Amino acid sequence: MIKTLTAAVLVVLLFALGACGGSGDSDSDSSAPKSSASASPDGDEATASKSISDSLMAAQKSGDSSSQLLNMKREDADCIGEGMVDKVGTDQLQKYGMLTKDMKAGTNLSSLKMSKADAASTTDVVFGCTDVEAMMKNAMGKSGTIPKQMRGCVDKVLTEENLRPMFGKIFEGKQAAAQKELTAPLIACAKKAQQ
């Protein structure tokens, strides 16, 4: 039961934050000839942040059952896009595959492997731009995957204190470690509830 809950939370997280990735057609973008037109760095940054924001919003409207759990406003998505470009930088986002050379959304989060520092910066951006705790609790409530007896534990465990380290691990590409960040407090809560 706890593994199912953890998997459900991770699916929501991966979809919500992995939405920075495009539709999987990054191969065609990366093989496109580089433009000889000189865009200003500010223009590149604006294009990059808009691409990230647009992909977050598009993922939310995609019709996938996981995406229907998301509840992000455009200003939150814009904030995340701008924050990632500001704190991580377009060069690094391209290196990680989150942006293509022409500043379009790149690969999804499942293949993301950021440095620890960039993962921490990205986590700060996400938590600074959205109420992650409320969004996750709302998403989990709507998912229908949480047994009634576990709802109290979910509310206790889905806190910023527990979610931040998990997000950091997800951004570093350490999915198993991210799952442990959530599993340990869930198991502890479930054991305590059964006593």
pLDDT band per the 50, 70, 90 thresholds, residue 32 = very low
- pLDDT at site 109: 55
Average of per-residue pLDDT across 33-50:
61
The answer to whether the CB of 106 falls within 8 A of the CB of 29 is yes
Of the chain, the end-to-end C-alpha distance in Å amounts to 17
Q: What is the pLDDT of residues 48-62, one digit of tens each?
A: 999 988 888 887 776
- pLDDT at site 138: 78
- Report which of 95, 101, 123 is spatially closest to residue 47, judged by C-alpha positions: 101
Q: Is the pLDDT of residue 40 over 60?
A: no
Look at residue 101 and give its three-state secondary structure.
coil
- pLDDT at site 189: 82
- Report which of 20, 17, 82 is spatially closest to residue 54, judged by C-alpha positions: 20
- pLDDT at site 184: 82
Helix (H) or strand (E) holding 42: helix 41-60
The answer to whether the CB of 107 falls within 8 A of the CB of 44 is no
**pTM for the model:** 0.75
Q: What is the pLDDT of residues 9-19, one digit of tens each?
A: 554 555 444 44
Cα distance between residue 103 and residue 89, in whole Å: 11
- pLDDT at site 158: 85
- Mean of pLDDT over the chain: 74
Cα distance between residue 51 and residue 45, in whole Å: 10
Q: What is the pLDDT of residues 166-193, one digit of tens each?
A: 889 988 988 888 888 888 888 888 777 7
- pLDDT at site 86: 95
Number of residues assigned to the chain: 195
pLDDT band per the 50, 70, 90 thresholds, residue 154 = confident
- Taken in order 117, 139, 106, 81, the sign of the CA dihedral is negative
Copy the structure tokens of residue 143: 């998912």
Q: Which residues pair with 99 in a beta bridge?
A: 105
Average of per-residue pLDDT across 35-52:
68
The answer to whether the CB of 88 falls within 8 A of the CB of 122 is yes
CA distances from 40 to 33, 78, 119 (A): 18, 20, 27
- Taken in order 68, 70, 75, 81, the sign of the CA dihedral is negative
Q: What is the pLDDT of residues 66-114, one digit of tens each?
A: 444 557 889 998 999 999 999 999 999 999 888 888 888 876 556 778 9
